[in-house]
Structure formats: C-alpha cells, structure tokens
Chain A
Amino acid sequence: MSLSSLQKRLTQIWAFVFKNWIMTKRNVFSLFEILFWPVVGFFSVGLLTDFLKLNPEMSGFILVGIIAMSVIQVCQIDVAYVLLYDLWSKSIKHTFIAPVHLFDLISGAWLIGIIRSFIVFLLLSFFSHLAFGFDFLRPGVVHLSLFLFGLFLTSVIVGMSVCILLLLFGYKADVAAWSLTSLMSLICGIYYPISILPFPLREIARGIPLTYFLEYFRSFYGFGPEINHVLIYGFGLTFVYLIPEAFLLKRVLNRARRIGTLIKLSE
C-alpha cells in the first residue's frame, strides 16, 4: 500500500470517528448512555452488595462484572451506531456509494467506542473506589490493559454482529444493539460464576471470550480461574469470531446490494 493510499484509508477511517463523535455530541440520549445508565446500574448493584452484606471479595466480583458489562455495552453500541445512524437518517446509500471498505467503517466506529467506553470505565472505577473501596488498579496497569483490550475486542464482535443483523433485517434488527449484551450478561458470568449455570448454558459461556477475560481479571481478586491460560483462550476465541464475522459482514453487504436492502433502507 502506497503512502497516499494509506493516508486515504486513514481519512476514511477518521470519517466514521468524526460522524459518531458529532452525533454523540448532539444527541442527549448518547450522553445518557455514557453518564446516566452505567452510573445508575453501577450504584444499584453496588448498594445491593452492601445490603446483602457481601464481603469485599464478593462485592469486587460483582463490581468487576458490572463495570465490564457497561464498558462492552457502550463500546459495542458505537460500532452498531455506524450503521444505525445511517438507517435512522435513511442515508445508508450515500455511505455505500462511496469507495469505503467495511474495515474502515468498523474500525472508525470502534475507535470512538473505545474512547467513550474508556471514559465510562474511568468514571465507574472512580466511583467504585470512592463508594465501595474497590481498587481497580490492584492487578497493575499491564493486566488491567489486557483486560480492557479483551473487553474492547468483545465489543467489536458484538457490534459487528449487530451490523450483520441490521444489513440482513433492516430496522427490525435495531433492538439487537441493546439486547445482545443483556443476553451475554446472563451467560458470561457477570454477576455469578459460570459454574452455577446449567450444563448447556455453561458450555455456551465457555464459547464466549468475555467469560475468560472476566475470569482472568477476577483471578487478581482471589477468584482462581476454573481453567489455565484463560487469556490465551480469550484472545484466541476473539479471533475465532472476528475473522468469520468479517467475511460474513462482507457477504451480507453483498446480499444487501443484491436484494436491494440499501435502496429500501434509504427510502
């Protein structure tokens, strides 16, 4: 790739950062997404742990889960927004008549998602320290960074799944942007270890990278992982999802061009 085409690709990626950033700035609802819902959810669960008189380790177990979930929710929705905003504005054909690659679209949106969810993470870790005495930095910056990177990768997997559903089913699929993470919270051990899940759900949980990233980070707070090398499993599984998803996204875009979805969604 020549320098000029690299610069061009970077500009195209930046276009989606620019778009999501401006839309976030202008949309009160998206400020709620960063500041209101995660904070309300965090304090509700945190106060519940106080009421149940859980010991600091158990409280920490739950707080790690709720913060991880908030980070994923905010980051994945930014990836989904890259198509949702176009869908809601009926402007999707203008995006896809331009010479953009799906990689540019997803990575630009992911970048702004990382920024937004990192703000959420900083905010919630500050509150967790202040209100519940929980120290997120105990594992050290390297382990914390690996944990967060795992969450960001999980988010892009979820966000891309939403984009695939949007290109397949149009407006009907926008509910997926909010429901996929809720489904994950049920089976990935956000509030409880996956060992308490019934057999089939436990096996499904083992197939989701988030399960391993949570086990990895909780191991620094006295909860030994059920299997060794959780980080390798986590990142390995992430790529097992990402590569076929990238191909699938390309296929569904091609299908959308074939059956006229791009036109219908722009009318």
Chain B
Amino acid sequence: MLNFHLENSPFRNIILKTMKFAIEAEGISKTFRSGWLGKKRKEALKNIGLQIEEGEIFGILGPNGEGKTTLLSILSTLLLPDRGKVRILGIDVLQNGHQVREKVNISSGNANFLWSLTVKENLHFYGMLYGLKGKRREEKVEGLIELFDLNEHRDVPFDRLSTGMKQRLSLAKSLLNDPEILFLDEPTVGLDPDVSVRIREKILSIHKRGKMTILLTTHNMREAEFLCQRLAFLKRGEILTTGTPSDLKRMVRIGDLLKIRYKGKISEDGLLHAEGVVNFSISEGFCEIVVDDAEKRLGTLMALLSQGGTRIEKVTLGQTDLEDVFIEFAKETDSDMGFCI
C-alpha cells in the first residue's frame, strides 16, 4: 500500500516507477463555462494528480460542490479534462476512451435508470450494452439479483422502487461487466443509516470477492473510514492531502481520546511534557487526554498520572473519527489546519 510514510520517503520516485497503478492522473484541470457566450467560469478542478494502486479502495473526501463528482466523471470517461493526462489501467483515457469503458463501471447515489423498465429488464439492458448475450447474461443478471437481495423486486419497475432498492440496483448494474475499476459516486447519499451500513458492507464484500480497484467519493466520514484504505481530501478543486485515515488524523493532530476518572491530583506540567500528548483538559476527578496513539502511550501515561499516589479509577477510550479531520480540512482558513498544504 502506498501510504503516508512512503509519500514522504526519499525513495518515493524509485518505488513509484516499479508500482502498477490502476489510475494515474496528472495535472488535471477543468473549468465549466456558463451564461451568455460562456462568460461565467467556474474552475472545478485545479492541477489534480492521483496515483491509485490496483486493488485499492481509495476515497475522495470533501464538502459538496468542491469537485469530487467532476473528478470521478473525468476518470470514468464521462467528462473530458481541459488539461492533464489520465491513464486507467495503463490506457490513455483521452486517446482510447472506448477501451477504458470496457474495463470500468460506475454507480451513483440518487441513482436513475429507465423508469418503466423493471429491475430485471434494466439489468438485462445494461448487460447487453456490455455485450453480454444469451445464457451468460441470464446467469450474470440472476447472480446479481441474488447478491443484492433484489429477488422480491425483480419485476418492479424502477420508478416504484425505494431509494435503497434503487441504490442496490445501481450497484448491481455496476458489476455487470466485472469491472476492473469501480467508481462509486456518493454511494450512500440520501439513504437511511441502516441501509447505508448494509450498502457499505456490500461494497466491502464486492471488493473482497473481485479484488477490484474502487474509487469512491463521499462526504461521509464514517463511510470513508470504514471503506477506504487511502483518502484524498478535495477542496475548491484541489487535493489538499492524501494518506491513510490514520495519517489524516495525525496530520491535523487529532488522535485517540482517553477519558480518565481519578482520585488525587494530576500534574499539568507532567502532561505538558509527556510524549505523544496532543491536548488535555483536567477537571475535578476527571481528565481528557488526546494522544497520538493510545495503545502505544497508555502505559507511560498511567505511570505518569499515578505519580504522587493518584489513583486511576477508570480509563475509557473515546471515539475520535474522521469527522473531526473533515471539519479541520473544511475550515475556511487553510492556515488553521496546522499542516503543510
């Protein structure tokens, strides 16, 4: 896995040359024009570069309207960039878009398909578009209906399906051609939490079965943390940073939260100079300490806190998740983030 440490390694360039990437993008820019004679311009993407390994689940995080879908559309050949190079599985998207389309597929949140066609008919139609014929198509469609628990709804027209069912159909459709790269655009947007959880589990199981590369966009932090091995944070059309979820937490100095109940006295000075402590607050009998890695620091911290006869009564590990990272990244003033962009 190409992780944060590798990205900072002096051997990065040598290692990258020997790696096989599913998606390589370099210097992608896109500006949309609107209004009279296209005078209104919106720069959607600015000089984007990405390298995604084969078999990886990579997430593009960011607030709404910051260019996530535009980037995904370019990588999936639906949109052409103004500048830059894109290679999908080594194939140049601009030169051989058709060849790329054989190997990729897309599923979007708020999915739309032909409204009068039933679940089964929609799958057959899109199966035919990928050249699946006869018994092979029949088996593929039946397999996907089974996989996504669509059996009860197989003869229901698309416009009568619930949002969750539509999303399942969208995922089923995206697997018709056994894609080597699957693009998921906000796969759980607008779904109830329980349905979202099931969809995420399904995505993970698809990934495990097919070992395909998955690129997903989301503004849901839990989703990103649950699914993605690496993430890129996109804001105002630029990638601010890439890394594993824990890399991102480390970057914005958000670590594990320890909640400690104690009897006695805790020295602020000791905590100020303790290794790995990012932040802390102390009140009567209770303190909260944010550390970079709770597992690594817990022993030293307990020893430090117990000095002078202080009795530790209870220690709990609080939840810190990417939500906090997202908030930090999405802040208006970039200089507040405490890392180099």
Contacts and interface: CB of A to CB of B under 8 A. Distances in A.
Given A23-B116, A89-B112, A257-B79, A14 B128 contact: yes
Contact of A99 (B69, B76, B121, B130): B130
A96 interface: yes
Given A23-B117, A26-B157, A86-B114, A12 B77 contact: no
Interface stretch (A72-80, A144-152, A173-181, A258-266): A258-266
Contact of B112 (A22, A97, A260, A266): A266
Interface stretch (B99-107, B191-199, B265-273, B313-321): B99-107
B217 to A, nearest CB: 13
A196 interface: no
A27 B112 contact: no
Given A23-B114, A26-B157, A89-B113, A98 B126 contact: yes
Interface in A224-267: 254, 257-260, 262-263, 266
Given A12-B128, A18-B125, A263-B78, A26 B116 contact: yes
A53 interface: no
Chain A CB count within 10 A is highest, among B33, B112, B113, B132, for B112
Contacts of B33: 259
A141 B227 CA distance: 65
Given A11-B133, A23-B114, A89-B113, A97 B77 contact: yes
Interface of B: 32-33, 69-70, 73, 76-80, 97-99, 101-102, 104-106, 108, 112-117, 121, 124-126, 128-133, 157-158, 173, 177
Given A94-B173, A263-B69, 4 more contacts: A14-B128, A15-B128, A89-B112, A95-B129
Interface of A: 7-9, 11-12, 14-15, 18-19, 22-23, 26-27, 85-86, 88-91, 93-101, 254, 257-260, 262-263, 266
13 contacts: A8-B131, A11-B128, A15-B129, A22-B117, A23-B114, A85-B114, A88-B115, A89-B114, A93-B108, A98-B101, A99-B98, A263-B69, A263-B78
